[in-house]
């Protein structure tokens, strides 16, 4: 166990003791989640809440950890009924905090029953469901959630298996409960229950990962079709490698056991949400069997797994509040998410979920995207973090001028910069791994805890690895407005960002897998538009060639250079521009009008790539080289894998 300053060690002991004391001294809320109607897009819950006579304020979660915005599902919570001793209690919603309910508890009443229904259309299909507990929890307001004990139970459709990091205490035929059975879990706190989702489905499998690593790790999988949840041995080996690589990189664990919760569905929707002892991961039906989709999803599990350390165990002080009602500050999200984005991609390469060349290809795409982000002319990366709750929007129109959640990708480049700087100044004897083991490993192996940090502590821990003016380092790259993207880490790592006239293989796979998201043709770095298969322009690069020609988002391309629009016709026109003196001519539909526009562009196709700088250290390959020697012969233990 790593030695600690007394201040930190003491705080960890206090956390552990207070957690035990809460459970021992108070009667817990009892909540039963009934998911039997999940295929009909409805969840139900019944809670029994210990109370005292008099005014009572109950509340549901608003600021959900990991969401970085106040998006608790109060709008979908319906059918609210309170009773005491079988008699209904009148209630009213708070005039200001709409998540809060007020009731008057009659004399002599010690228990209030609360019934909630929740309308659920995301993370649910006819064959599977995901329960994030904020959908069904209600508890006393104005009380720290870590101090409220709660005893959870669940009822699932007949024959459906259950995956969760919660500990069952009435197991029966766990993890496939008997028909109508109530599965009760060990008592915890409201804070920890919100952090402990459940997945359930008809086609359920649970696999033990990396049996040589303690504590135990599992991946629980549900899918819409029987064969999809039968993950291949090759994929399970890579995920086992991920467990080993993360254990080596962070030199600690902050959970009793860890569960990757994975849904494979074209209906239930995508997800990537971190939790301390598990993660909620949702991809398309063939998300880990189709090679293109597998590459697109390669960093999902590593990213969310890393959050167990960075974001859950260690969390910025103002991103951790005593309840789920107090607004959270996003200022240090470039650490919470940016460092996780960096390590998620690194661990994906180290574990074999992507190759080193694919890592470089995708890094080139990320850096180029940030380079062609003119919003950086007026907005700092820090402001994208502070404003995260208003930037999580889906409208792509002029998104490059607004900037979005750039603290993810911008943070990735900054932490690559820090990693290569440490390597360069120590002759590759130290790296960011040394910092991570200090910063994320404080306390050694613990159960699920939250230990907040400040910017000053972050810099102090980096100084233990490499004495440097880290405050200025981050100020220059994060806190000030900088029109130039941080390419120092890439160049110090032995490569430079270039643009070629052909897509790299990874980009081709990405566009094939996610074309509807990125656009049917990648012409962002040439004429500066993002356009779909249907010809509708999603975004226009501010001050780029198309912008100067007057094109704008929502316009529809009818024809290009005299040909009816198709992705092929647009790509050919851009290709031919390099040898043509004529502008590219567009016919466009602007709302109910037809317009003509000429884009005076002659640069041909342009796609980002990384090119090796001769005679320099190849730190990028050093960074993505596994820390642990892979043992392909290690057995993967399968359990509960025949529930069809």
Domain-wise residue ranges, the chain: 26-200, 316-494+619-624, 526-599
Residue that has been written with the tokens 């993370």 in this structure? 123
Note the pLDDT of residue 515: 57
Give residue 519's pLDDT: 60
Stretches where the chain sits below pLDDT 50 are 1-18, 517, 632-644
Model pTM score: 0.93
Q: Is 117 helix (H, G, I), strand (E, B) or coil?
A: strand
Interatomic CA distance for residues 2 and 611, integer angstroms:
41
Within a 10 A sphere around the Cβ of 25, how many other Cβ atoms? 8
The arrangement of secondary structure in 526-599, i.e. its CATH architecture, is Roll (2.30)
Topology of domain 26-200 in CATH is Immunoglobulin-like (2.60.40)
Question: 233-250 vs 432-439: helix axis angle to the nearest 10?
Answer: 80
For 70, other C-beta atoms within 10 Å of its C-beta total: 16
Closest CA to 106 of 80, 84, 91: 84
Reference 546, options 362, 400, 404, 405; nearest CA is: 400
Q: What are phi and psi of 226, to 5 degrees?
A: -55, -45
Task: Specify the pLDDT at position 24.
Answer: 57
Q: Please, is 119 exposed, middle or buried when counting C-beta atoms within 10 Å of its C-beta (0-12, 13-18, 19+)?
A: middle
- Spatial strand order of the sheet with 584-590 comes to 563-564, 556-560, 584-590, 593-599
- Helix residue spans in 271-392 (DSSP H): 291-296, 300-306, 333-336, 338-351, 356-371, 381-386, 388-391
Cα pseudo-dihedral 622, 628, 634, 635, rounded to 10: -100
Return the pLDDT at 2.
31
Rounded Cα distance, 173 and 123, in Å: 25
Provide the CATH number for the domain formed by 316-494+619-624 in this structure.
1.10.390.10
Peptide bond into 215 cis (omega under 30): yes
Q: What is the pLDDT, as a whole number, of residue 642? A: 40
Report how far residue 159's alpha carbon sits from residue 162's, in angstroms, rounded to the nearest whole number. Answer: 10
- Matching CATH topology for 26-200 and 526-599? no
């Amino acid at each position: 166990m790593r030695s600690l300053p007394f201040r930190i060690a003491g705080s960890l002991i206090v956390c552990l003791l207070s957690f035990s004391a809460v459970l021992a001294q108070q009667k817990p809320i009892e909540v039963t989640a009934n998911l039997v109607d999940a295929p009909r897009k409805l969840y139900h819950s019944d809670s029994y809440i210990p109370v005292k006579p008099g005014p009572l304020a109950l509340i549901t979660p608003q600021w959900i950890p990991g969401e970085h915005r106040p998006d608790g599902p109060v709008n979908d919570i319906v059918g609210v009924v309170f009773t005491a001793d079988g008699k209904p209690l009148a209630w009213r919603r708070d005039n200001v905090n709409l998540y809060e309910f007020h009731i008057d508890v009659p004399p002599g009443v010690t228990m209030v029953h609360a019934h909630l229904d929740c309308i659920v259309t995301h993370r649910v299909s006819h064959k599977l469901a995901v329960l994030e507990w904020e959908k069904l929890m209600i508890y006393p307001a104005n009380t720290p959630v870590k101090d409220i004990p709660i005893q959870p139970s669940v009822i699932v459709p007949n024959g459906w298996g259950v995956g969760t990091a919660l500990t069952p205490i009435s197991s029966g035929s766990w993890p496939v409960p008997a028909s109508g059975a109530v599965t009760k879990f060990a008592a915890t706190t409201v804070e920890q229950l919100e952090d402990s989702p459940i997945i359930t489905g008809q086609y359920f499998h649970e696999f033990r990962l990396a049996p040589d690593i303690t504590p135990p790790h599992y991946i629980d999988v549900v899918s819409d079709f029987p064969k999809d949840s039968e993950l291949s041995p090759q994929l399970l080996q890579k995920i086992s490698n991920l467990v080993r690589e993360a254990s080596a990189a962070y030199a600690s664990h902050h959970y009793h056991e860890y569960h990757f919760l994975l849904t494979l569905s074209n209906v239930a929707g995508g997800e990537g949400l971190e939790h301390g002892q598990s993660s909620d991961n949702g991809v398309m039906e063939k998300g880990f069997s189709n090679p293109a989709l597998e590459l697109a999803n390669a960093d999902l599990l590593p990213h969310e797994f890393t959050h167990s350390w960075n974001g859950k165990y260690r969390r910025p002080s103002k991103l951790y509040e005593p309840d789920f009602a107090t607004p959270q500050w996003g200022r240090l999200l470039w650490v919470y998410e940016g460092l996780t984005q960096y390590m998620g991609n690194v661990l994906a390469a180290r574990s074999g979920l992507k190759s080193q060349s694919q890592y470089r290809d995708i890094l080139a795409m990320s850096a180029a995207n940030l380079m062609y982000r003119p919003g950086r002319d007026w907005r700092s990366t820090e402001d994208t973090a502070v404003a995260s709750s208003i930037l999580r929007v889906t409208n792509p129109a002029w998104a490059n001028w607004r900037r979005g959640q750039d603290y993810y990708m911008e943070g990735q480049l900054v932490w690559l910069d820090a990693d290569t700087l440490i390597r360069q100044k120590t002759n590759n004897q130290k790296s960011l791994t040394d910092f991570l083991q200090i910063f994320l490993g404080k306390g050694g192996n613990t159960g699920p805890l939250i230990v907040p940090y400040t910017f000053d502590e972050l810099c102090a821990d980096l100084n233990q690895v490499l004495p440097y003016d880290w405050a200025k380092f981050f100020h220059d790259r994060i806190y000030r407005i900088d029109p130039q993207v941080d390419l120092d880490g890439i160049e110090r790592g032995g490569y430079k960002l270039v643009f070629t006239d052909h897509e790299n293989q990874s980009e081709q796979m990405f566009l094939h897998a996610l074309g509807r998201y990125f656009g049917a043709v990648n012409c962002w770095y040439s004429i500066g538009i993002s356009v779909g298969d249907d010809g509708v322009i999603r975004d226009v690069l501010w001050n780029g060639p198309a912008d100067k020609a007057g094109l704008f988002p929502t316009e529809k391309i009818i024809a290009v250079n005299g040909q009816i629009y198709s992705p092929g016709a647009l790509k050919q026109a851009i290709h031919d521009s390099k040898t043509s003196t004529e502008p590219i001519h567009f016919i466009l539909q602007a709302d109910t009008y037809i317009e003509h526009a000429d884009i005076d562009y002659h640069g041909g196709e342009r796609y980002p790539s990384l090119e090796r700088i001769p005679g320099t250290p190849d730190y990028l390959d050093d960074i993505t080289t596994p820390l642990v020697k892979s043992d392909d012969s290690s057995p993967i233990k399968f359990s509960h894998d025949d529930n069809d």
